[in-house]
Structure formats: C-alpha cells, structure tokens
Amino acid sequence: MKFEIKETFYIDDQPIRLISGAVHYFRLAPTEWKKTLQNLKALGANCVETYLPWNLHEPKQGEFCFSGLADIETFLSIAEALDLYIILRPSPYICAEWDFGGLPAWLLADDRMRVRSQYQGYLQAVAAYYEVLLPKLVPYQYTKGGNVLMVQVENEYGSYGTDHVYLTFLADLLSRYFDVPLFTSDGGVEKLLRGGTLPQRSILATVNFGSQAEGQFAALRKYQKEHGIKEPFMCMEFWDGWFSSWEKAIIRRDPVETGEEVRKTLQKGSINLYMFRGGTNFGFYNGCSDAGVNNEPQITSYDYDALLTEWGAPTEKFFAIQKVIKEEVPTAQIAAPIYPKIRGIGAYPISAAVSLFSIVADISVPIRNDYPLPMEKIGQNYGYLLYRTNIAKAASEAVLKVVDAGDRIQWYVEQKPVATQYQAQVESAVTLELPKPCSELNLLVENMGRNNYGPKLIAPTQRKGIRGGVLDDNQYLSDWWHYPLEFTPQQLQKIDFHQAVIPDTPTFYQAIIHLERPESTFLDCRCFGKGVVFINGHNVGRYWHVGPVKHLYIPDYFWQQGKNEVIIFETEGIQINELTFIDTPLMD
C-alpha cells in the first residue's frame, strides 16, 4: 500500500483528487464523531483532516491525556472504519483559534522561552511530547494498513518566521516515525512560502486561502518552478467561514459564493474545507486574536459558519458545496446527511448557592509571595486567579493601579465590588474607600485566552494574571496570597454550598437535574452576566452577556442517566434562580 506525490496524488498507483474536510475531534463530543464523519462522506469527501493540540494532550509537563475529548486513536479508528483517508497535523503549533495556538502554557514558566525557534528548552519539550504522541499515530499510516496519507511539519510558519533549522529539526523528528509524506501549509504569497517550506527535503508545500484560487496557486506554481518541483496543488485550508469574538457580530459567508470559490479550487487541485464542522471551544481553550493594543478573545462557539453548525446540523452551505463537488467530480459519492436531535429538557430551579469568598480557602491551596506572580509561575494554566492582600492605611481611601496584567480584573475591598477593568483599562487608577485601618483587597483576574497567531506569540502578555505589581501611589504593595482557580473536577468537588452567599460577589450556583437519558441541548444564557458552566464536573465553556451567542451548546456526552449536577460560576454578582434548557440556539 502506498501513497505517492508526483504530478498528482496517487494511491496504489491510481490518481486521486483529495476532497477533505477539517474536523477537530477535540471540539466535538466523542458521541458525535461518527455522525460528523458520516456527514463528511455524504458531502462527497474522501478524506478528513485534523489538528492535534499539544496543550490538550500534555496539560502539565510530563502528564499526558489521550482519553475523552483527547482520544485521537478512537477518532482515527472511526475515520478508517468509514473508509475516509486522513491528513494529520500534529505540529507543535496549530493556530486554530485555540489557546496559545495549541502550545502548552507551562512553557511560559521559563523566562527564556522562545517558542517556534531553536531554543533548546522548547526543542526538548517538543521532542519529549513527540516521543509519547507519535508512536500512537504510527499504526494509522497508509503504509502500515491505516488511512493516514500525510503529516504536517509546521503550521503557517512562513507567516511567523524563516528559521529553516527549526523546521528541519521538526522534519527530522517526524521522519523517525513516519514514512508517509510530510507537508507544510502557508499563505499563497511568495515570501510566506519561502519562510515556511523545505523544498530541499521533498516536503509537499500547500497553501491556505478562502478565495481567488488562481492567484493563490499561481504563487505556488512559481515556487515550484523555482525549485524544480512538479507537485499537485492543494489548498490545505479553504476558509469557508470565519470565527467569532466577544463584542462583535457573527461573521457569515454566502453559501452560493462559497460554493463557486470551492469550484475554482477543485478545478485546480485538491481541497481541505476549513471547517467542515467547527464545534465548540470547551473549557478555557478558546484562543485570542491580536487586535493591536487590545486583543479579541474568541467566544465559546466555534461554529465558524461551517458546512455543519456547531451542533452538527447541515446548512445551506453544505448543500451548495455538495452540489459543486458532484458537478466537478462526478465520481464523488454523495448522500443525504444525518440531522442531530436537539431537545429542550426543561427548566430547573437553583438548589444551592455560595460565594467564592466564603469558600476560596477551602477549594484552593494558596501560594504566598512578596509580589504578585502570573499564573504560569505558580503552575496554573487557565481559569481565574484570586490575588489577596491587606492595605494598612491611616487615610480613608487609597488610589491603586495594577501594572501589566491580563485580561480582566475585578476589584473588591472587604468583599464589596469596587471596579472592573478589561484590557486598556487595566492600568488605570482605581480609588478605594478603606473602611478599616487594615482592609482586605481581593483582585479576581480572569485569563480570557492567549493569542493564537501573530507576533504576540512570544510577547510577555501571553502570561496571564498580574505580571508587574500593584501600586499604591508610587509604592508596590507586598505580601500577596494567590488562590488558583482552574476549576478542575477535583476542585469543584470541594465546593461547600452550605456556606454564605455574599451579595454582589462572584458566586457558584448549583442545580440538580434528573434525566431519563442523556440529551443534546442548549442552555439559555440570556439572563446571565459572565462566567463558566460545568456539567458533572466538565467545563462546557464560557458565557458573557456582551457576546453574539446567548446559549451554550451541551452535547449528550456530558450528561448521564439519572442525577446530574450543573454548577455555574457567575462573576458579575447577578442572582441566578433558574436554568432553562431549550432546543433552539439563541444568536444575535
């Protein structure tokens, strides 16, 4: 069995045009993997592509996860059973609108860290990760009887750097394990192709775009001629939609226009539709776009205006592109798609509530330091970090300022709200009334997502929490207690809902729901402020009243038959009395 790249793609000596769709297993519930891939086949596709996020598979250095949402082997086995070819992208950096572009946050504990470079600390970490990951993928190669055709070296590196020594290091590592072809993917611009490819290694160069196939492939054609290469054209990411951020409207793309651009691409070569189904940024894994001085964290929904909705329903775009595929590739096997079942499971009262300040010392082991430390310096990757100190002052008020922090800070004096700062507001002065000679100050800092693309990948702002300090006039306050709030299942189990509710402070709400069977549903978030939702200990994502999506999609995977516990961490002091689960999404 062999897959060859000549003037076109060949599988066992037969020419083939790859029609692929991007499906991120880690953004879908495992119960939805098979139906999603069946719908990909129904579209007329013969291949599936997926990234592999390093930070999901190695959440703590030396601790690995390949179960649940991270069960890549089961996902690949399902694809093989459906006779779909597979394109794997296990590069350390994936972008993908995923926190830190898939790089693990624990890298940032090293002050000298330089990601995507020859820095030895980074290369050693990549090698250690690959030593665990890659042997799991090797059996799925086409040459070993599996369906994996190609493996990515790095992702859009030409849009970041020009270090071919680093790229060669990755290619050498991958070549020790894989004998199927390697590839790179970059923008269809000469400069980007020069920076991100390795022509001397016979590694396939592909391009990413969402329109104007002729111009994009022209740059690739010029690159091939310069290096004496004759290889097939492939768009490794055809952007059929786009992602969404908080405080902005959802971006939509016309289905017919998208289909016609797909047609132009298919007339030139092979295609991978990014995304076929986007899915959901479960947990705290959403990425963040560079918007100049500020940043734009992405929302929980990664619907992407893709061919299938976030919850797996075929869209007009699905049928428009299916029609184009059949017209351009008459041998493509199309079929009617499968529709998901979404249920409204009803309204349920809140059974208990407790304020964060009442229990923080019980659920979090504090770390004491003379000055505030960012999350990564105390071994925390995601979530919230509560900073606590005391202000001893004879006067009745103080003027304080946080120096260099991200991303959102809520101020409390003696457990009463004072101010909320976000991004550009963070370094503004805050006037505090001090009711006691020694008043307790709490700063709750939320990590809303690290940059996943661009020059800020190596910026100090990738570290979350307070990076500088807290000034009282010109004096830095000292003696800080740090309470990490990553909200692991183990931490959530420690919540004592018998403790006090303090008005206008961050609060946990609990609801107990009994179900005859697990159902996929939407949680109505219109009456909430800002926070995160947990179903049976699973973090299903963030909500925020300023966002364009007013629901959280909750797949059946997170529910169980019988008793279920729902916990909401609401940071805005809004009282929640009831949870309502509906069968219809709510979007602006």
237 is catalytic: yes
CB 544 within 8 A of CB 448: no
CA angle 296, 534, 61 (to 5 degrees): 70
* Nearest one of 536, 541, 26, 77 to 284, comparing CA atoms: 541
Structure tokens at 535: 């179903």
CB 304 within 8 A of CB 273: no
Instruction: Give the integer Cα–Cα distance in Å for 238 and 32.
Output: 23
Instruction: Give the integer Cα–Cα distance in Å for 155 and 187.
Output: 10
CB 539 within 8 A of CB 528: no
58 is catalytic: no
CA distances in angstroms from 189 to 219, 274, 388, 453, listed in the order given? 6, 19, 50, 17
Structure tokens at 31: 């119960």
Give the max Cα distance, the chain.
Answer: 85
Instruction: Give the integer Cα–Cα distance in Å for 27 and 82.
Output: 20
As beta bridge partners, residue 411 has: 419, 443
CA angle 376, 93, 148 (to 5 degrees): 135
* Nearest one of 157, 170, 165, 96 to 130, comparing CA atoms: 170
Catalytic residue among 32, 49, 58, 156: 156
Which distant-in-sequence residues (6+ apart) come within 8 Å of 543 by Cβ? Answer: 300, 525, 528, 530, 531, 532, 533, 552
Catalytic residue among 58, 154, 237, 310: 237
The residues that are catalytic are 156, 237
